[in-house]
Structure 1
């Protein structure tokens, strides 16, 4: 029995299986408990670490067991060199995967706090950069000269660029859209071509817009998006003024009209929670502006919190104002045409 335990092959297998079992044990017990602990804390970055390094420890312990197995007995030098290079890859590759996971988790966390979805293009470009750097790092650790590879990639890249001009044009246009920061996911925009809706995402080739109130998905190439005239209703602030024109009779008490309109507008905005509670200054403005043919005309402006809430506010305000005008005896005149027949 003792002779069997001293066999090199048995010891190598023991180290390899021991590393694997220890890695699985650490992953299932220690790491699982660590994940439960991170979910209970208010600190967000420990969740990112737990998510990023899931499965990494198991690979590292297995690679460590394989490395210890190499120390037992005599190995062929060529086989040892090959196995060591493989183990280097097994140590580096999980770090690259963890970094890619971490980037996505960090971007999603920032998006949640800013209440805006982060463009998919940003995440993909950063992950691509990490993947390329990680690949070069692995090649260097494998003693592979990357200079010819970089040269070849440069020549191949030129050929690909010529073949994929439209694709690359959309890619760089998407990067431009993101870097300028004038259009972001979650913004309500209207294009010069007439499409309007919420920006859902900026991808490598296109920008997706969810139309409102239809709920359809409009796909716009990034190059078209970058060259179009875009009206962004969410910037510089999301709140906007909604204007309505009203006419009242020449017999009306204008002070009473102004007071009534102000009261109704304020009540509607408050009841519907449609205005920004932190807004400074008035949320309702009333201005008389024209002596019309059959009425004195005024404009009412209401400060609403979002572009999409203006329809509901306008609807409710017209209903409530009409009811209140009837109660107060304020007349909304309509044009009357008198025909005179001279005989």
Structure 2
């Protein structure tokens, strides 16, 4: 007996045309009802989204609105098949089809629920915990992999495949795959390390080697920075963790060191006054903490002062505004005292080479000259 003959002898083909018509009619009515219910759910969800309030049933309704047409068709056909005479084999096939469709629909529902939860978590974290934002994408990826792996295994088990042997085979094959994609896996584990350890978060300003920029996105394989000049910098997570990273996003205050140079002709009384003057100027600025100001050294062409203070903010623009006000006031105060700022100068000593009478002493005259006058004398 051929396969075609054995198939034609199944009990389902013993049904009359009237039985098939009733079954198809019932299936059509069931499909219409299911479509109407799905449309009602989606309409209600649209109304809930139009309001700003977060309602208790909003997430379940949004998840149910992701119901696929394939599931509705399979369920409607299963309902219609109940009006037909079927054998055990056909009944098992129909039950397996409905079960597999439910498994995959459940996977879609769970993925949708995870996406909705992560989106709400991301919106809350942007204002309160920026560190969580970078880890949400990695968490979502891991959860999606777990969900679809479970759906696939349940589907194979329902089809009669021994998943125990399959899992064992995947474990052996996984070693070979891991060796082939070890760079990708290295970046994946590096992203998990970033998620757990949180050396930086979205929004932090980093300097990594010769590159600098604010963290824009932390992904599975790479982290993306937005540089000051506007371009995007993509760095592999494994390279990022193996580098020395300077994180300015964790800066609470900024230490500032600046110098002031004056000429050697300055009166000693003014030299003694300058450190206290600088302290007074720094302390008059808001959001600063003065540390010290000293006459540091006698340089080649100037008397150098060194000042240290702290800006009680990590904002670079605010630091520059404060430093500008300090420089402007210091410039005015020193000019009012008659103190000149030093600039690179060179003093040349000229010796008269004219032969002197016997017994006379040669006189040396010295005067500060710039490079142009010294060449003219030569």
Q: Is TM-score (shorter-chain normalized) higher than 0.5?
A: yes
Q: 1:206–1:219: 8 Å Cα contact kept in structure 2?
A: yes
Q: Which residue of 1 aligns with 2:341?
A: 333
Q: 1:169–1:223: 8 Å Cα contact kept in structure 2?
A: yes
Alignment of 1:144-159 (within 5 A): 144-159=161-176
Alignment of 1:71-110 (within 5 A): 71-110=82-121
Going from structure 1 to structure 2, the CA distance change for 1:74 and 1:327 (only over 3 Å counts) comes to same
SS in structure 2 at match of 1:21: helix
Taking the aligned partners of 2:98 and 2:292, their CA distance within structure 1 comes to 81
SS in structure 2 at match of 1:304: coil
* Structure 1 position 229 matched with structure 2 position 244: yes
SS in structure 1 at match of 2:271: coil
Q: Which residue of 1 aligns with 2:309?
A: 300
Alignment of 1:315-330 (within 5 A): 315-325=320-330, 329=336
Q: 1:16–1:69: 8 Å Cα contact kept in structure 2?
A: yes
Which structure would you say has the larger Rg?
A: 2
Q: Which residue of 1 aligns with 2:369?
A: none
The unaligned stretches of length 5 or more in structure 1 are: 1-5, 267-282
In terms of mean alpha carbon deviation, does 254-263 or 94-103 score higher? Answer: 254-263
Taking the aligned partners of 1:338 and 1:44, their CA distance within structure 2 comes to 79
Q: 2:204–2:247: 8 Å Cα contact kept in structure 1?
A: yes
* Structure 1 position 200 matched with structure 2 position 216: yes
Bigger relative contact order (CA 8 A; separation at least 6): 1
Q: Give the deviation of 1:285 after TM superposition.
A: 0.8
Alignment of 1:23-42 (within 5 A): 23-40=34-51, 42=53
Q: Which residue of 2 aligns with 1:177?
A: 194
Q: 1:107–1:118: 8 Å Cα contact kept in structure 2?
A: no
In terms of mean alpha carbon deviation, does 175-184 or 91-100 score higher? Answer: 175-184
Q: Give the deviation of 1:88 after TM superposition.
A: 0.9
Q: Which residue of 2 aligns with 1:313?
A: 318
**What's the RMSD between the two structures over aligned residues?**
3.0
Alignment of 1:115-134 (within 5 A): 115=126, 116=130, 117-119=133-135, 120-134=137-151
Taking the aligned partners of 2:118 and 2:340, their CA distance within structure 1 comes to 55
TM-score by length of 2: 0.72
Going from structure 1 to structure 2, the CA distance change for 1:161 and 1:43 (only over 3 Å counts) comes to same
Taking the aligned partners of 1:263 and 1:205, their CA distance within structure 2 comes to 49
In terms of mean alpha carbon deviation, does 251-260 or 119-128 score higher? Answer: 251-260
The unaligned stretches of length 5 or more in structure 2 are: 1-16, 262-269, 350-363, 366-378
Q: Give the deviation of 1:296 after TM superposition.
A: 4.1
Q: 1:26–1:57: 8 Å Cα contact kept in structure 2?
A: no
Taking the aligned partners of 2:75 and 2:253, their CA distance within structure 1 comes to 62
In terms of mean alpha carbon deviation, does 40-49 or 149-158 score higher? Answer: 40-49
Q: 2:253–2:310: 8 Å Cα contact kept in structure 1?
A: no
Q: Which residue of 1 aligns with 2:356?
A: none
TM-score by length of 1: 0.78
* Structure 1 position 16 matched with structure 2 position 31: no
SS in structure 2 at match of 1:40: coil
Taking the aligned partners of 2:33 and 2:50, their CA distance within structure 1 comes to 25
Alignment of 1:255-274 (within 5 A): 257-264=278-285, 266=286
SS in structure 1 at match of 2:134: coil
Q: Which residue of 1 aligns with 2:10?
A: none
Q: 2:254–2:312: 8 Å Cα contact kept in structure 1?
A: yes
Q: Give the deviation of 1:133 after TM superposition.
A: 1.3
SS in structure 1 at match of 2:311: strand
* Structure 1 position 241 matched with structure 2 position 254: yes
Q: 2:222–2:237: 8 Å Cα contact kept in structure 1?
A: yes
Q: Which residue of 1 aligns with 2:371?
A: none
